A and B are shown apart, each in its own frame.
Chain A
């Protein structure tokens, strides 16, 4: 299959994983440059002439079209496969897809990222802030669990961009914050997650399949 373009990312980057999952779901092929040395090569003049921000993930289509920012790339790749159903021709349905994509990033993904940053901030670690972040994220999990109690997918009755996005932020959370104690409260979330990651088109993506036992804690460096 001809790749639709190149995606600069690293295997452990959850946002890159999201884009790869989207492409896989749509039956599209992405070329992942393997001679890419992060975080050095992305600051090279050559890279920054294509991708001004110097950040990954970064996408270049076969026609030379250059794009950065995960949400932009995700949506663009999905738009290349209109029959995939990931997006929608209905403005309201599309709006709901965007709503849940945004929610996934700002109400779940963001807190995982901030928590991990905090845990590795050395002496700048602050327990109160950590607890605050955990509180926010748990509140979001509560809302998700409720939302998933009577639905299979986030929008309508099929996998959309919202579901893949949500699964990708849950994947990160399952490696850092969404521990056994919390998971016990959220059977719907876990069932949803496993449904998405085991979809035949996406099962080879490197989603988190071993979940963290206890949420990561601060380890002071001596």
Chain B
């Protein structure tokens, strides 16, 4: 039979397996992509022109029919082979097929996904109460399924339907994360049903090997690490590249779950793509900390020798709402807070910013040394960045140079306001 088109998916994707299983039982021939790299190819115009939301599974019919959403594709394929009765034989049976597919996804599948990501530290900071609540919800659903299967071979009628395929897919994922040995012992009918489905001759290769976890996955606190690594977004970025197949599966499972994790590796910061620079910001931070600022052998002298104005730029920063400032120590704390919120840009930024003046008559001003020539990508990690004004400095200009040096040396004066206290971001 001729192929009806291409199913864009990856082998590990549960939602894709489900569709392939329907195709296999329905005698439908569908092509899988020869070359497809998820997180990359689905961002390209060739893909997004057909499937605007850039998600998989996605179906491209030979006749130009485009379809996304895994559940829609599975049902469509099932409807193309009515003799296989994968949707039951009556409207009521079709409704029951829908019911179990939905139940499997919403009352079992999502919990596998959430728990998987939770214990891997991807979704939200791990919290045992959340884990317990999710686990309990899922166990309740296992109970429902077990009860239903205790008196029947298949979910809807006497034959395999899309419901059985979908539930088997959902259980296969749960078996890797939560549906451990003790739970399996309490839900033998779920296990029996699962093994019946995945061992169907036409489906064995599609479902592939199943990992039966001994003990449900638990949270393991990561080793002491940079803040960036702890961030869910960055951690999720690392995960697709991880060799461990189970991890990749959790994320690329079911259409919904591919996206509980950010689709693009967030680590692709444009600042990392700039041409290499000889100026090393960490060396500068060390020089600034260890040497006097002004004078021979000082850090300013070091700076002028080493600075690469192609790769970096210097900026003046001023707080926009100085009329709000009251006590000097509070304004100093404000600078500290702003610097805290710039933490994500630590490797791209150095700052020396101070409070000038006296209580209720002060301003916040200073300088930044940052990667590239645009301040926004470096500072907009801080939600309050727009409370400050940024002006590029030209160190060939005498006034700018004076300002720069004074801010670094903490002896900056603007008008009648003298530097009272300051903070460094380094």
Chain A residues in the interface with B (C-beta under 8 A): 52-55, 65, 67-73, 75-76, 79, 91-92, 94-96, 98-103, 106-107, 110, 121, 124, 126, 128-129, 132, 136, 140, 143, 146-147
Contact = CB atoms under 8 A, between A and B. Distances in A.
Interface of B: 52-53, 65, 67-73, 75-76, 79-80, 91-92, 94-96, 98-100, 102-103, 106-107, 123-125, 127, 129-130, 140-141, 144, 147-148, 231-233, 255-256, 259, 262
B95 A143 contact: no
A47 B91 CA distance: 23
A109 to B, nearest CB: 11
Given A99-B69, A106-B256, A147-B52, A75 B144 contact: no
29 contacts: A52-B144, A52-B148, A53-B141, A53-B144, A67-B95, A69-B98, A69-B102, A69-B106, A71-B102, A73-B95, A75-B95, A79-B95, A91-B76, A95-B73, A95-B79, A98-B76, A99-B68, A99-B69, A100-B69, A102-B70, A102-B71, A103-B68, A106-B256, A107-B259, A124-B129, A124-B130, A126-B124, A128-B232, A132-B262
Given A52-B147, A75-B94, 14 more contacts: A52-B144, A53-B141, A54-B140, A55-B107, A67-B99, A72-B102, A79-B94, A99-B69, A102-B72, A102-B255, A110-B256, A124-B129, A128-B233, A143-B53
Contact of B95 (A76, A95, A102, A110): A76
Nearest to A63: B92
A99 B91 contact: no
A121 B262 CA distance: 22
Contacts of B102: 69-72
B99 A68 contact: yes
A206 to B, nearest CB: 23
A96 B59 CA distance: 12
Contacts of A110: 256
A94 B79 contact: yes
A102 B105 CA distance: 12
Nearest to B99: A72
A69 B231 CA distance: 35
B121 to A, nearest CB: 12
Centre residue among B72, B75, B94, B125 by max chain A CB count within 10 A: B72
A163 to B, nearest CB: 15
